[in-house]
Amino acid sequence: MRRLLLASSSRYRQELLSRLRLRFDSCAPEIDETALPNENAEQLVRRLAEYKARALAARYPDHLIIGSDQVAVLGEEILGKPHTFERAKQQLLAASGESVKFLTGLALLDSVSDRLQVDCVPFTVHFRTLDEARIERYLNAEQPYDCAGSFKAEGLGISLFRSTQGEDATSLVGLPLIRLVDMLLIEGVEIP
């Protein structure tokens, strides 16, 4: 079987990929994640997913390399990782009663043939109306400062949602497994 490499140090993505019961290594790619001028959110996540995979191809010349990147979009604004309590609070206040679209770019690169598959998987979260006290309780309980959108859907963050909409809930956590399985099957990886 081909060796797999997850181009990420994200524990969330590692936990998701582990669900497929495939052996894999992981390594953080060193890339600039700054958006290009006039680049929309979908273009951004597709490009960054590909760049993450390609950044490790020379070091891992006999691998299928998985790259993924995610952004949250509220209206026309791209929400990044908040990193602080105050920024997380502002993001959740802005999302209160609104819908936030999560776009997850996914790339699978065969470092032998240089064959590349790239896609973008959307998922929408419709938020409940949230007051400051509820937001602060949530942030103090879960501290999701390393998560785009300021919540952990796999944890207590689910309590902030009114509903969700999308084909693959794992894309919300950062690695769309349904689409990834499609890509791996094309490359001849047997699952299960």
Q: For residue range 62-104, what is the model confidence (pLDDT) as tens digits?
A: 999 999 999 999 998 998 889 999 999 999 999 999 999 999 9
Q: What sign for the dihedral angle of Cα 139, 140, 145, 147?
A: negative
The one-letter amino acid at 46: R
Angle, to 10 degrees, between the axis of helix 85-95 and the axis of helix 132-142? 130
Tell me, yes or no, if 69 is annotated catalytic: yes
- What pLDDT digit, counting tens, does each position of 105-156 carry? 999 999 999 999 999 999 999 999 999 999 999 999 999 998 889 999 889 9
Beta strands 161-166 and 63-74 are: unpaired
**Topology (CATH) of 3-186:** Maf protein (3.90.950)
Catalytic residue among 69, 131, 146, 168: 69
Which pLDDT score, from 0 to 100, does residue 182 have?
98
Give this prediction's pTM. 0.92
Q: State how far the Cα of 68 lies from the Cα of 117, in Å rounded to an integer.
A: 12
Triad 16, 18, 21: Cα angle to 5°: 135
Render 39-60 in DSSP notation, one character per residue.
--HHHHHHHHHHHHHHHTTTTS
Please state the domain extents for the chain: 3-186
Beta strands 3-6 and 63-74 are: parallel
